[in-house]
């Protein structure tokens, strides 16, 4: 079924949810499109239990709680939700844009805000361990409780690996973090907290085998000096990052830089009715934080409002005045 609306928002992560709310605040009809079946984007899919510390007004907030508030706020705009559908094509028209979805339907709006985050994301595989997925090996920790009382091995050296190590340490029987280098890509404060905890850091090491019968029972780790160590465990978390892909967006004629969409200070792309906000954007001085995405969403929607209705003003007034 084809749909006519004022603004199309592509991406239902935190930035897209706030853009959806703000479109309603501006009195615009809005359609929200996402390839995932539920709202919240990457936060819901991968980090619902992660504590987020850099959102204004929250000293710390769980990913799922932040999304819950954003969803409630976004739904106040009475958006049309088009979930589980991937945007495939973009057609520019004189008075709007038409976005073709993978189910053959179209959604047409006066403007489009792309808030697609990193695009689609595919976890990097755990060498020698992918066959154990669902039987003790996982790429993401959506719920900490199932790990209570288990011996857990986490593979990786980035923020996710250290965040999960920090949160699982009080619950698990033991936590060992295995990383192939002795330098980490995680936030220094989190690394310091993990070092001060009971988590064992095993660096300059790689998992070369996962062993078990029906489920994981141990992993075999090889150190740089050739030594071999077998670690008993009932759970392995492979936190090796993921491969991001903008997918069909790369074929829409949008200017890109390092797999991101180039925008100006108004969040305009090189296409006159297409704006972008959040992690998908690129400009000098760009900082990829959820907090930054919120501001970019408001900027994008306010500037899109003028494109949709030239009689409108970029500045909508303060919400406290309403």
Report the binding-site residues for FAD: 15, 34, 42, 47, 87, 121, 279, 320
- Which residues are paired to 274 by β-bridges? 112
Look at residue 242 and give its three-state secondary structure.
strand
Q: What is the DSSP string of 270-316?
A: SSTTEEE-GGGEE-TT----HHHHHHHHHHHHHHHHHHH-TTS-S--
Please report where in the chains the tokens 């009715």 appear, as a residue: 273
**Beta bridge pairs of residue 275:** 113, 268
Partners of 185 in the beta sheet?
none
Q: Compute the residue count for the chain.
A: 322
How would you label 225-235 residue by residue, b for 16+ Cβ within 10 Å and e otherwise? eeeeeebebbb
Annotated binding-site positions: 15, 34, 42, 47, 87, 121, 279, 320
167 burial type by CB count under 10 A (0-12 exposed, 13-18 middle, 19+ buried): middle
Backbone angles phi, psi at 63, to 5 degrees: -55, -45
Measured distance CA(276)–CA(304) in Å, rounded: 10
> Across the strands, what pairs with 107?
3, 99
- Alpha helices of 58-134 — where are they, by DSSP H? 63-75
Mark residue 69 as left, alpha or beta (left: phi above 0; alpha: psi -120 to 50; beta: remaining): alpha
């Amino acid at each position: 079924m084809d749909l006519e609306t004022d603004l199309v928002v592509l991406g239902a992560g935190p930035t897209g949810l706030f853009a959806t709310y703000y479109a309603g605040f501006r009195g615009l009809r809005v359609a929200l499109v996402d390839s995932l079946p539920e709202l919240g984007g990457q936060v819901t899919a991968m980090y619902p239990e992660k504590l987020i510390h850099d959102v204004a007004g929250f000293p710390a907030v769980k990913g799922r709680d932040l999304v819950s508030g954003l969803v409630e706020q976004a739904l106040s705009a009475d958006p049309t939700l088009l979930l589980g559908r991937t945007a495939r094509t973009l057609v520019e028209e004189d008075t709007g844009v038409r976005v073709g979805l993978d189910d053959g339907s179209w959604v047409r709006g006066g403007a489009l805000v792309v808030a697609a985050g990193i695009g689609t994301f595919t976890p990097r595989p755990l060498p020698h361990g992918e066959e154990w997925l669902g039987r003790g090996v996982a790429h993401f920790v959506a719920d900490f409780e199932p790990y209570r009382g288990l011996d857990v091995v986490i593979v990786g050296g980035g923020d996710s690996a250290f965040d999960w190590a920090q949160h699982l340490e009080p619950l698990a029987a033991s936590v060992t973090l295995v990383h192939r280098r002795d330098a980490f890509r995680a936030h220094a404060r989190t690394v310091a907290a993990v070092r001060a905890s009971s988590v064992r850091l095993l660096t300059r090491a790689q998992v070369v085998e996962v062993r078990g019968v029906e489920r994981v029972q141990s992993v075999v780790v090889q150190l740089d000096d050739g030594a071999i160590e077998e670690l008993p465990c009932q759970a392995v978390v492979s936190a090796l990052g993921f491969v991001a892909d903008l997918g069909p967006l790369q074929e829409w004629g949008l200017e890109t830089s390092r797999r991101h969409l180039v925008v100006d200070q108004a969040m305009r792309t090189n296409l006159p009715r297409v704006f972008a906000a959040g992690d998908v954007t690129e400009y000098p001085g760009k900082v990829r934080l959820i907090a930054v995405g919120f501001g970019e969403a408001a900027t994008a929607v306010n500037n899109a409002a003028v494109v949709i209705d030239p009689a409108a003003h970029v500045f909508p007034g303060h919400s406290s005045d309403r």
